[in-house]
Amino acid sequence: MQALIPPHLAAERLGVSRNTILNMARDGRLTPVAKVEGRLGAYLFDEEQIDRLAAERAAEVAR
């Protein structure tokens, strides 16, 4: 089963702000898997996708 995480946890794992996560979703750099119902419902992200992206970012910094 796919684990889903909200934007604030995705931001924490990537070392960016919540607004950066939302901007990344808007411009296609991140793909939300679901959206909580309601007008202000949060996007939910695939935990594995976020962890892969965090590992890629860490590898780039290490170079």
Question: Domain coordinates of the chain in residue numbers?
Answer: 4-62
Q: Which two tokens stand for residue 4?
A: 């889903």
Alpha carbon of 57 to those of 13, 15, 19, 26: distances in Å?
Answer: 11, 10, 18, 20
pLDDT (0 to 100) of residue 40: 83
pLDDT tens sequence across 4-52: 999 999 999 999 999 999 999 999 999 999 999 988 888 999 999 999 9
For domain 4-62, give the fold: Arc Repressor Mutant, subunit A (1.10.10)
Query: What is the value of pTM for the model shown?
Result: 0.85
Question: Widest CA span of the chain, in angstroms?
Answer: 43
pLDDT on residue 39: 85
Residue 43: both structure tokens together: 């996007």
Q: Note the pLDDT of residue 62.
A: 83
Q: What is the pLDDT of residue 52?
A: 95
Residue 37 structure tokens: 């119902």
Compute the distance between CA of residue 54 and CA of residue 62 in angstroms, rounded to an integer. 12
